[in-house]
Amino acid sequence: MADFNKATIGAVPNPILAEKSDPLHILQMVKNLKHQPITGVTDEELLSRARNLAQLEALGGFIPIRKGTKSPMVSSWGKEYLSLEKALSYKPAALAVFSPYFLILDYDAESALDFVVRRGIDFTLSTWHIRRTDNLWRFKQIFLVTDEMLDELPERKIKRETNYLDSGLDVFCSKKSYILCDGEHEDGEGRYYSPGGLDVCDLQPAPAKVWDLIKEVSEFQQVGRSSSKTYSNTKSKKLYPCPICGRNKNYWCFENDNGLIHCMNGQTFSAEKEHGSLKIGDVVNGYALVAQISTCNTFKIHNPRSKRIYNPRPVRRRRVNARR
């Protein structure tokens, strides 16, 4: 998959679906449906939206969504890439789309906006945004990633991370996660839409700060899986701040109730960024390094062994009673 440029996503080499849907045919299909899965009032608005959505066929597949739910009307999604026309043939109330090349930041609370701002991420950045007419402060920001970027992730994806670090932000980058992009919300009150200038044709590559966050989440998930296996019988608490690396935001380092401190290797904070190269047995701030992996350094309280002073006991000689 080549690099992406604004307004050219439909021209990527080797598109997933070689033939695009016909926007004029889509317009007639939508006008004949009971429910309107594409947002627009006039024919011109519907046609423009259909053209924009059809570009996504180069990157992924569409999913018809059942009315009153967020559930697909087909069971083959993720394996079969449906064209826009094919998805509309199921007469859905809404449309979803999935792609291995989508990176999604899902803002579910105002705290999520504060979280990304602290990370240097612009939540107003012009790329594809998906909003709801009944809740303007809950929206998704979608970016594109390349094959080269995906190769940096252990499994070329990250699973959906819900409420990352209690921030109110959901993050995912996987074709196993779909996003509702148009049509009715499940409650029937609102609709999904994309504002002008923030539509499909405005999709942008993921900026460095966003990609750093994705790599951090990937490391977090990898460590979480290994920690859950190794310390399944222990409880943990987040450290505010971390006594090893000094992390005082995006609290990621944690301590198990067995006394082990897991100091995570992030982009800004890590044990070696703070103290230089470390090896097993090194002591920092009263903690000894006992284990190392690529994403984490594990420490425990250093208890140096006191030297034993040799003080032999006097030899007690047995008294022998000799008969004379």
- Dump pLDDT digits (tens) for 274-322: 999 999 999 999 999 998 877 788 999 998 765 555 455 555 655 555 5
How much of the chain exceeds pLDDT 90, in percent?
45
Query: Looking at the whole model, is its pTM more than 0.85?
Result: no
CA distances from 298 to 52, 219, 263, 271, 290 (A): 49, 15, 6, 10, 6
Residue 315 is predicted with a pLDDT of 54
Look at residue 74 and tell me whether its pLDDT is greater than 70: yes
Residue 237 is predicted with a pLDDT of 79
Q: What are the pLDDT digits (tens) for 308-317?
A: 554 555 556 5
Residue 6 is predicted with a pLDDT of 41
Contact in structure between 52 and 26 (CB atoms under 8 Å): no
Contact in structure between 261 and 299 (CB atoms under 8 Å): yes
Q: What are the pLDDT digits (tens) for 241-260?
A: 999 999 887 677 888 878 88
- Sign of torsion over alpha carbons 175, 63, 201, 16: positive
DSSP helix/strand/coil, 164: helix
Q: What are the pLDDT digits (tens) for 123-139?
A: 999 999 999 999 888 99
Query: Looking up tokens 């420490």, which residue turns up?
Result: 299
Which residues lie below 8 Å from residue 15, measured CB to CB, with a gap of 6+? 57, 58, 59
